[in-house]
Amino acid sequence: MSKSVIAIVGSATMDLTAYTDTVPEAGQTLLGRDFTTGFGGKGANQAVIAAHCGADVYFIGTLGRDSFGDAISVNFSAVGINTDYLERSDSPSGVAHIWVDGNGENRIIIVPGANHDIEIAKVVSAISDIPELAIVIAQCEIKQEVTIAAFVAAKARGCITILNPAPFEELSPQLLDVTDWLIPNETEFQSITHTNADDDSNLANFRPGKNSIVTLGSQGAVLIGSDRTLTRSSAPSVHVEDTTGAGDAFVGTFAYCLASGMPSIDALKFGIKVASLSVTRKGAQSSYPSQAEIKTLS
């Protein structure tokens, strides 16, 4: 695949993850099996996996002036992500508190912190400045007005825009209008449409005239074409250790493939391969395959 230039406007956090056989009920205290601290945030995760794929990645976001912010910035540089547009604020860096149960399923509480300090003017300037920019990705861990401004600037340059609507919030018509690819999981699809993703008619009627993908966990994903055609791709059977960051692995990989000129169906299938490998390991970014591993999947 050829080089691709991708900008991620989004969140970066420190993930504080507890592993336990069962999660506690209200008022209950349980012993956990393990605890890890790692790099996360949906925007950062998508940036890291796109960089592992071989993209030229620019991260546009805000960190706190604290030890977590310092560590995240160093990690970006180590991975090869451009941080020219990474700002600092007096708010604490964002954190995510994660519980992972014995089935590898997660429950997450995000405290955005500095991620909500991203300035619209600086984002628009960055989108306008980045040379040869092909794709702009955003999520819902930053303020929606920032994403709208970023996507409007991206569309003015002829870039493809990808929105991962997680964690779910109501999406404004203006944001949807400037979103080329909307990629929810099945729970987010249900929140958006108030229907289930297991019904083909519900999927086909999702955003007519626009492209979308609904990720389905262990069942793979379904691509919904702008002409309402559905293309399903299954996921390989794997032992699930931790699903944290798997959706981000898919989004970042799909974006890289699309920017590289790969047909969307092939990009869908490759994104599923990478995401499926990530769930066999603990953590978010720590679970992502290296560039060498990704090449073996091609």
179-190 pLDDT, tens digit each:
999 999 999 999
pLDDT digits (tens, 9 = 90+) for 199-229: 999 999 999 999 999 999 999 999 999 999 9
Q: Check whether 2 has a pLDDT greater than 60.
A: no
Domain holding 239, by residue range, is: 5-25+32-291
Q: What is the pLDDT of residue 1?
A: 42
- In this structure, is residue 124 part of a structural domain? yes
Q: Per-residue pLDDT averaged across 101-112, rounded? A: 92
Could you tell me the pTM of the whole model? 0.93
Whether 191 is covered by a domain: the verdict is: yes
> Would you say residue 297 lies in a domain?
no
Structure tokens at 267: 């990009």
> Is 118 within the bounds of a domain?
yes
User: What is the amino acid identity at position 133?
Assistant: L
Each residue of 40-68: pLDDT tens digit? 999 999 999 999 999 999 999 999 999 99
Whole-number percent of the chain with pLDDT over 70: 99
Does any domain span residue 150?
yes
Note the pLDDT of residue 3. 62
- Structural domain count, the chain: 1
Q: Can you tell me the distance from the alpha carbon of 97 to that of 105, in angstroms, rounded to the nearest whole number?
A: 14
Predicted confidence at residue 148, as pLDDT, reads 99
Of the chain, the percentage scoring pLDDT greater than 90 comes to 94
Q: What is the CA radius of gyration of the chain?
A: 18
Assess whether pLDDT exceeds 50 at residue 134.
yes
Q: Which runs of E-coded beta strand occur in 75-134? A: 86-89, 94-100, 106-111
Choose, from 21, 70, 248, 266, the residue flagged as catalytic. Answer: 248
257 assigned to some structural domain: yes
Mean pLDDT score across all residues of the chain: 96
* 248 catalytic residue (yes or no): yes
pLDDT in tens, 190-199: 999 999 999 9
pLDDT at 244: 87
- Read off the pLDDT of each residue in 119-128 and give the average, rounded to a whole number: 98
**CATH number reported for the structural domain that contains residue 168 in this entry:** 3.40.1190.20
Q: pLDDT tens, 3-14?
A: 699 999 999 999
298 falls in which pLDDT band (50, 70, 90)?
Answer: confident
